[in-house]
């Protein structure tokens, strides 16, 4: 089973700051890494697919990068509505697995 390790677990950030969340896979997963945003009492929402592919309707301040074992989700100029927990997810190998999540709080 591929283990995804996210860091940090928690981040408290001022609006307009840049946020960087990392996800490290225990073995190479190519680009089969996806990012989700989950707000309290809501279901996860797909933000970035295949490491760096943006999605229609997702604000351009969200971007992803990486391949192999190291991946990054970047939120440029954080807004109050971005307060959420962010999860990475790999679909390269079965069983599919998720990272432990990074909670982003707005100061």
Partner 1 sequence: QVQLQESGPGLVKPSETLSLTCTVSGGFITNYYWSWIRQPPGKGLEWIGYIYYSGRTNYNPSLKSRVTISVDTSKNQFSLKLSSVTAADTAVYYCARVDGGNLDYWGQGTLVTVSS
Q: Cβ–Cβ contacts within 10 Å for residue 42, how many?
A: 9
| Minimum gap (Å) between residue 54 Cβ and partner 1 | 12
Cβ contact 78:62 at 8 Å: no
Which CB sits closer to partner 1, 14 or 43?
A: 43
Beta bridge mates, 44 = none
Chain residues binding partner 1 by CB under 8 A are 1, 32, 34, 36, 42-46, 49-50, 87, 89, 91-92, 94-101
Q: How many CA atoms lie within 13 A of 46 on its CB side?
A: 13
Q: Which is nearer to partner 1, 6 or 75 (CB)?
A: 6
Considering the complex, state which of residue 68 and residue 101 has its C-beta at the smaller distance from partner 1: 101
**How many Cβ atoms sit within 10 Å of the Cβ of residue 13?**
16
CB of 16 to partner 1, least distance (A): 29
Please state the closest distance from residue 66 (CB atom) to partner 1, in A.
15
β-bridge pairing 10-13 and 102-106: parallel
Q: How far is the CB of 44 from partner 1 (least distance, A)?
A: 6
Nearer to partner 1, 17 or 58 (CB): 58
What is the C-alpha separation between 95 and 72, in angstroms, rounded?
A: 22
């Amino acid at each position: 089973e591929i283990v995804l390790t996210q860091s940090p677990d928690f981040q408290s950030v001022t609006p307009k700051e840049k946020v960087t969340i990392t996800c490290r896979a225990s073995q190479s997963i190519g680009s089969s890494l996806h990012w989700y945003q989950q707000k309290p009492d809501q279901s996860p929402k797909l933000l970035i697919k295949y490491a760096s592919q943006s999605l229609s309707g997702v604000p351009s301040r969200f971007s992803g990068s990486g391949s192999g074992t190291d991946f990054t989700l970047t939120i440029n100029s954080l807004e109050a509505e971005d307060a959420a927990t962010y999860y990475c997810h790999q679909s390269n190998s079965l069983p599919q697995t998720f990272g432990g999540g990074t909670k982003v709080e707005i100061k």
